[in-house]
Structure formats: structure tokens, C-alpha cells
Structure 1
Amino acid sequence: MSFVQIDDVGTTNRRKLTPHRRLQVWERTGGRCVLCHRKIDGARERWIAEHVRALELGGLDDLDNMGPAHEACAEIKTKDDHRRGHGPNGKRSDTLVPVHPGGPCRLGGVVPGSGHYQE
């Protein structure tokens, strides 16, 4: 496994999530959570449009960096993103982050955004 240095790149500005854009996020994966890769029941389960690479870690606010995620999955990822993006004193810090090109990630399944989904 290799590591990449995450520099303080600042937080990317977030654009408004219109209903049309939210639908585009859903359609990118056919309604599969980009974090756990299970199908989301859009009528019964709450989901959000998740940024695969967090905005606070330099991710872009575009469709290539977004996908639907179960609310519970996104909450876990967001906490981890905040932990990686901020040091113990609450300020941003440079962090080494493991890179899993096309391989499994700690959230279960394949690296979010890789285009590979588990059945």
C-alpha cells in the first residue's frame, strides 16, 4: 500500500444541490451507495449526495466526485474525513492517507469512486 501526502488545500466551495443534480448523482451508480456498495431503497432509506473525496480534503464539487450514500454510511465517512483533515488542536494538519488503487477500502467494498461495485 502506498501513501500520499495530504496538504492543506483548503475547503472547496459547495454549489447548490438542485433536484436535477441530485438525480444525476443517484443515476451515476444506479442507486448504489458509494461507500458500502449496497443498493439504496430510495423510497424507504434516507440517502445523501456524498462527496467521495471530502471538500475539506480538496475534493471537487462535481458529479465525478459525488455519489449516493446511505445517511449512516456518510456519517461514518464524514467523521473520518474530519479526523484526517484536522489535528488534535482542531486546526488543519498535513496527513498521510493510504491509497488503495482499485482495491478494498476500510469502509467495506471497493474504493469509492472507482466504478467497481459489489453485488
Structure 2
Amino acid sequence: MARTVKEWIGKTDDTKIPPRVRERVFDRAEGICHCCNMPIKVPFETWDADHRIALINGGENRESNLAPAHSHCHIKKTRQDVAEKAKVASVRGKHIGAKRPSSKLSGKKHPKPPLTKIVQHRRSLYEPIQPQERM
């Protein structure tokens, strides 16, 4: 009987997953991508340890929340997670009355000041320089 290993839990959300934990996650899922249910061909395809419940959506940085995913599947899932978080934040903001500011400011527009032409007097390249008077 194999020795049981204590579950890995990251100290913070930014804690990198150790290689031994990535290996256990891959073995536990038998090398199947949890997004598309296709096998991950290890030497030819790259894979990531993906959080089943994303950290931004309340998931935990622990071994039981990790699953292997193809790199391209992981990118798609991350996009979906971010979109879900944005929608939840928008609905929550409407419910609690914290309206998000619009991109344009409302109100009366101020007229632009008229453009004035600045005239600079320059001497010609061939205009003689007037000698200064000595005192």
C-alpha cells in the first residue's frame, strides 16, 4: 500500500506550484485535459495545472482544486473566468448601488478658445546685421 501524502496548499494565491505537485495532479487525472477531455501527449503538447474554480472567482490555491489542461484550453478557460468575474462584479455593483462610471463624462461641453496666430518676425538670411552703437 502506498504512503499517503499530505495535500499541498499554497501559502498565498501567488505561490508557484511545485513540480512534485504538478506530477501528482497529472497522474491523478491520468493525463486527461479537464477542459476538453482529450489526452495530453506529454512530450509534444504543453500543459498547465489549472485551477478548476479560478482564484478570481473564489477558488483556493490547493492541490484538490488543480487539474491538468492543455495550454490552449487553459487560455480559453481563463478568458471565460475573467468574463464571469466581470459580469458578477457588474451585477453586484448594480445591486448595491455602486454604479460604474461611464467612459464619457456627461454635462455641458465648454467651447474651445479661438486659435490665435502667433506672428514672429524673423530677419532674412541675407539681411545685413545692424552694427550696435558703442558708447
| Superposed displacement of residue 93, structure 1 | 3.8
Structure number with greater Rg is 2
More strand by proportion, 1 or 2?
1
Task: Report the residue type matching 2:58 in the other structure.
Answer: G
Distance in 1, matches of 2:67 and 2:53, equals: 11
Partner of 1:48: 48
Runs of 4+ in 1 over 3 A off after TM superposition: 91-95
Q: Deviations over 1:10-62 (max 9, x none)?
A: xx723221111111111110110011111100110010000011000001111
Distance in 2, matches of 1:86 and 1:39, equals: 31
* TM-score, normalised via structure 1 length: 0.62
Distance in 2, matches of 1:30 and 1:94, equals: 39
Partner of 1:79: 79
Structure 2 stretches of 5 or more lacking a match?
1-11, 93-135
Distance in 2, matches of 1:82 and 1:19, equals: 26
**Corresponding residue pairs, total:** 81
* TM-score, normalised via structure 2 length: 0.55
More helix by proportion, 1 or 2?
2
Percent identity between the aligned chains?
33
